[in-house]
Amino acid sequence: MRFLDRVRRLMINTMLTDWDRGLFEVLVLHLSGEVASAMSRIPVVVRRSAPGAGNETGERIRYELASIFADILQRAGREAGDHLQKLAGSREAPRRSRFLAAISADLLPLARQGPPINPEELTGLFTVRYRHGDPAVVEGGRQALARLGRILSHRPELAAALRVATGNQFPLTGTSALLQPALWTALRDMGLLEGIGFPERSAELLSELGLRVKRLELVAALRGRLEMIARRGRGYVLTSHRPPRPIARSTRPFDFARPGVVGTAVRRFGLVYDLTSFTETLEVVRKQGPRAEERALQFMYIFQQRLDTVRRRRRLTFEKFLGDGAFYSSRRAVRLLAAGAEIQRAYERLRQKGFPFDRGLRMALNFATYHLLPMVPAGGNASRFEFFGHGVVELARLTTGKSVREIDEIAEFLVHAGYSSAVVEDFLGPLIRARCGTAAPEQRRYVARLDEHGELINEGIVLTAAFVEELQRELGDQPLLVAGMGEGGASVVLSLDEEATTPIFVALSYLGIARLKGLPPLELVEAVVLDGPPAHLASAPESVDLLSFLRVLASGEPEENEPKAKEVPSDLVVATYLDDSGHRLWLF
């Protein structure tokens, strides 16, 4: 069957990426709503096709078709589970969905979109689901409640007892009480069924029918929370509203027909910090004895506490530890840059107090596409999402540089092999100078630069070009101030006071294009944390592009001297062809 095959493929795709996130249950909820919507039209179609047929015929056909769809859904679920079990080569059967089993067994959520207004609308269910049930039980229950009403009118103490037993949540007689399981249970326990002339088996049927109606109410409420959307241009609109309502472009809807169901790609600002020569310092501390190790542990605890304070104040999200560093994400560039400045300040204060890991702190900030991988902890119910992809690799490379990382790995191997860190540094010194160049004397402790080979030597804070572009969008109309930075040229000074704390001044200067192994060429900007506003500041031209202006400042040429790109005429036509000799010619 075509429907069975389509549903099975949807279920297989959803099960592959569910990871206990409830995606399969959402799919079943949506499918049940689609089936119920189709079933609601069956009685009308029957009446039009056979004018002599009564309502009972249409209702019976409705529930018979719903029963067929219930079998199809369960079969699709079983076959999808068997397919995944075979695919994984596992003997353990996949977990069956209790929600799918409950909806299929109940049948009402597949036959109706919402609870019935009149209990008589459920008589068709008796023919299909209750083989031994009498559809006239509904009318019998109505008559029994009428007799109960006459009894209670003469015995108010009995009415009070029934209200207590049922929680006093509904009238004890009338249509609203007909499908209340609590009422029939109370009448049975109090021995009143015989007095109103109603069999206990019939009371059990009405109680079960009432429970099915209540489950249908819950399913209908859940289905009402599902919003149908469609793509319009580059964004989405809610098609379940009239007129269609546009929603945020960042929305990641469920699409059960595509791999992953939910798009894993997100655009985030990321920050990674890395402690310089962490392994070598750790080995030195270990050789100094237990007291030195305990002192280093206490300092590291304080450092992590300071970082967490910055994270909370700047509203960052801690994603994971990366070796001796960590990875944070944010939706705002200003917050992340301010956090990077505060982290550097916190590290410097601890370094002055004797922090053993005093070789330096490297940071990199970017704006990139990350992918979210759901991770389910062992024995846990709540899943978390792990960031992975090109964005994380980019940050990791920018905090070390590929060449520097290779040398660090060699140094780490030699130190673990028993060589002293001093001997290792002397041995690898020529290699470091050959691969990374010789650093020019710097007055600043935290500095980033590019050597003559395009290798990044990062001992400060570097920003990617994409981060700088997004940063300017957030800054909006904030004026750009220019300060001289000695031989390093001029830089743009920003005041980061978004969080209404003490203003943080950061100077941005253009580094150039770094060439790191495994990554395409990256255009980088250095961020220098200042102690305060520079003494002499000049205003940058209005409406200037920040990244382009940084390039101009680094080149030392006035912006006016830059050749302006010629505008292409709107009526220009370009044609190209190959002549007889095979040369390409152009016509403008």
CB-based burial label for 100 (10 Å; 0-12, 13-18, 19+) = buried
Residue 367 bridge partners (DSSP): 269
- Report how far Cα 37 is from the mean position of its chain's Cα atoms: 31
**Which pLDDT score is estimated for 498?**
56
CB-based burial label for 89 (10 Å; 0-12, 13-18, 19+) = exposed
Placement of tokens 């596409």 in the chain: 369
Distances (CA, A) of 70 to 57, 62, 133: 20, 12, 21
Backbone angles phi, psi at 198, to 5 degrees: -130, 125
CB-based contacts of 216: which residues, under 8 Å, 6+ apart? 106, 108, 109, 112, 114, 115
**Which pLDDT score is estimated for 139?**
86
**Which pLDDT score is estimated for 80?**
92
State whether residue 8 is helix, strand or coil.
helix
Nearest CA to 509 out of 522, 496, 494, 490 is that of 490
Question: What sign has the CA pseudo-torsion 411, 413, 419, 420?
Answer: positive
**Which pLDDT score is estimated for 223?**
94
Which residues in 135-148 are b (16+ Cβ under 10 Å) and which e?
bebbebbbebbeeb
**Which pLDDT score is estimated for 563?**
45
325-330 vs 265-275, strand pairing mode: antiparallel
**Which pLDDT score is estimated for 447?**
92
Q: Which two tokens stand for residue 34?
A: 């689609």
H helix intervals, 328-387: 333-352
Largest CA distance in the chain: 113
Strands (E), 288-425: 317-322, 325-330, 361-375, 384-388
pTM higher than 0.75: no
State whether residue 118 is helix, strand or coil.
coil
Q: How far apart are CA 185 and CA 212, in angstroms?
A: 16
Backbone angles phi, psi at 114, to 5 degrees: -155, 175
Q: How far apart are CA 511 and CA 505, in angstroms?
A: 19
Q: Which two tokens stand for residue 107?
A: 């049948």
The answer for 392, left when phi > 0, alpha when psi is -120 to 50, beta otherwise, is alpha
Q: How far apart are CA 310 and CA 67, in angstroms?
A: 58
Question: Would you state the torsion angle of the CA atoms of residues 113, 98, 222, 204, taken in this order, to the nearest 10 degrees?
Answer: 60
Question: What's the first-to-final CA gap in the chain, in angstroms?
Answer: 59
Task: Give DSSP secondary structure letters for 136-203.
Answer: THHHHHHHHHHHHHHHHHH-HHHHHHHHHHHTT-S-SSSGGGTT-HHHHHHHHHTT-TTTTT--HHHH
Is the bond leading into 243 cis (omega within 30 degrees of zero)? yes
Q: How far apart are CA 107 and CA 439, in angstroms?
A: 76
Nearest CA to 12 out of 69, 85, 101, 71 is that of 85
**Which pLDDT score is estimated for 383?**
60
Domains by residue range for the chain, with CATH: 2-224 (no CATH), 228-262 (no CATH), 265-441 (3.30.70.1230)
State whether residue 225 is helix, strand or coil.
coil
**Which pLDDT score is estimated for 561?**
44
**Which pLDDT score is estimated for 405?**
56
Q: How far apart are CA 289 and CA 7, in angstroms?
A: 65
The DSSP secondary-structure symbol of 540 reads P
Long-range CB contacts (within 8 A, 24+) of 196-199: 196/144, 196/145, 196/147, 196/148, 196/151, 197/144, 197/147, 198/140, 198/141, 198/144
Q: How far apart are CA 287 and CA 297, in angstroms?
A: 15
Residuewise pLDDT in 10s, the chain (588 residues): 688 999 999 999 888 877 777 889 999 999 999 999 999 999 889 888 888 777 778 888 999 999 999 999 999 999 999 998 888 787 777 778 999 999 999 999 999 999 887 887 787 787 777 654 566 788 888 899 999 999 989 998 988 998 888 887 778 877 788 888 999 999 999 999 998 999 998 898 889 889 999 999 999 999 999 999 888 887 888 888 788 888 877 677 888 887 777 777 788 999 999 998 888 888 889 889 999 999 999 999 999 999 999 999 999 999 988 878 899 999 999 999 999 999 999 999 999 999 999 999 999 999 998 877 766 665 555 566 777 788 888 998 898 754 555 666 777 778 777 888 778 878 877 766 665 554 444 567 899 998 877 788 899 999 999 999 999 999 988 888 888 754 456 899 998 875 556 789 999 999 999 988 778 889 999 999 998 888 888 888 888 899 999 999 888 765 554 444 456 676 777 777 777 666 677 776
368 in Cβ contact with 268 (< 8 Å): yes
